Amino acid sequence: MAYQSLNQENHMNGIQNFIKNDGHDLPDWMTHERESAFKEYKKVYPKLSRTATWRNTKLDSMLDAFLEKDFKNLNSSHKDFDINTAFEDSIRIYFHAGMFFCDEKIPEYIKILNHQYSEKNRSIFSIDNKSKRQAIPLLLNNIVSRDALLIDTAMNQHVQRLLHIIHVPNQNINVAPRININLAENSSIKIVEEQLQLNDSIINHCIDINCAKDSSLDYYKINHPQNNSHLINNLNLNQDSNTDVKIFNLDLGADSACSLNHLKLNGEDSHVSCSTLFMPSAKRSSHHNVMIDHLSDKSFSSVNFRGVINDHATGSFFGKVRVAKERRKTSAFMQNKNLLLSDHSKISTVPILEIYNDDTECSHSATSGSLDKEKLFYLKTRGINEYDAKDFLIKSFIDELTSQIKSIRIKEYIDELILSNHET
């Protein structure tokens, strides 16, 4: 749906008033960044909001509610919330009401800005080399964001403790977390980022990841089911030579949930694996967009997205892998499989390969359908009742993806969330 001109004008005026009247004491350069972001936002919004990226989402609904949410900075403590975590020995960073905080002395490789911005941090808000399809949420993040989490490993540093980033529940709030991860040469880290349940809120999340040569990253993102909330996740990844990045995302849906991933393989022998399980139910949605650019010889990518759509929920997948003519000995695999559990559930899938040379191994596949009736009949002939037979087939479909998770405790935690969501 096109955003009506009157609503659009009110929306733009509201953002301009927010920038002008925001009560926080921000440095001049940051105010200038906000104004520059707003100027660019006004320019690109009319065109980009009508592209296929946003066609299946409720972008207009989110923007209507954008300025109705609370932007206040509330003092928070994790003790104010009942947070059940399976990772007690991890380093826990909390995000609430627009701010990051921690309940222990954080290591040197982690920094929380907490308004202590200096002009050297200006690059955090740069949108250079970002995909145009990400411009709307990136620019809105620049306008709203008040804090950033910076993770910078040292050369040859291999972090043993798991880093657990927990987004604490909010009510009727608009927040824009910003995370920058920079892995130095021959370093490694494992991160679990978890978005707990929101109520009537908007979260517009941006994460930038840069991996120097010989580094490795395991990154898990878990989105609990959201209530009447909008959730946008932007992820930008740049990999140098001989790097290994594994990304796993569990998304249980929101009133409008959208993930935008742009993965760039800039060095030889760079490997990326991006897997997502999305399971919206009720009237929730879950939309996913991934673009991979093979910008070097001998680079390897694997994309595996699976949707389990129930009730009146909707989902979509758009994936594009690009390999330029001059790039040799690349390998790319992209797969999207979807299981529709209701006559009212809907899915849209568009996998694309742009390959301009023969010295490559690339493939893609996409399937959508209901439970296999022949398999269901076979299980019933073996004395299994229909409910258990359906449950077995659904779990088998999911396990094909989650079995790729190497960490036992992370897999067990994700399996518990999937089970509880499936039972409800």
Q: What is the pLDDT of residue 407?
A: 93
Residue 343: predicted pLDDT: 93
Least reliable range by pLDDT among 1-10, 203-212, 246-255? 1-10
Tell me the C-alpha distance between 248 and 403, whole Å: 11
- Which pLDDT score is estimated for 1? 38
Residue from 23, 15, 66, 70 nearest 40 by CA: 15
Residue 77 is predicted with a pLDDT of: 54
With CA atoms as reference, report the closest residue to 144 among 113, 98, 181, 200.
Answer: 98
What pLDDT was estimated at residue 72?
61
| 250 vs 372: CA distance, rounded Å | 24
| Inter-CA distances, 273 with 18, 126, 249, Å | 40, 26, 11
The Cα-based distances of 177 to 113, 136, 144, 339 in angstroms read 12, 15, 9, 32
Q: Name the pTM for this structure.
A: 0.93
331 three-state secondary structure: strand
Mapped onto helix, strand or coil, the DSSP state of residue 167 is strand
Which pLDDT belongs to residue 203? 92
Which pLDDT belongs to residue 251?
97
pLDDT, one tens digit per residue, over 307-354 is: 999 999 999 999 999 998 888 899 999 999 999 999 999 999 999 999
Judged by average pLDDT, the poorest of 24-33, 75-84, 182-191, 280-289 is 75-84
Q: What gap in Å lies between CA 70 and CA 61, rounded to an integer?
A: 17
Predicted pLDDT at 81: 65
Looking at every residue in the chain, the average pLDDT score rounds to: 89
- Residue 209 reports pLDDT greater than 90: yes
The share of the chain scoring above pLDDT 90, in percent, equals 58
> Looking at the predicted structure, is the pLDDT value of residue 5 above 70?
no
- Extract the tokens encoding 303: 């994309």
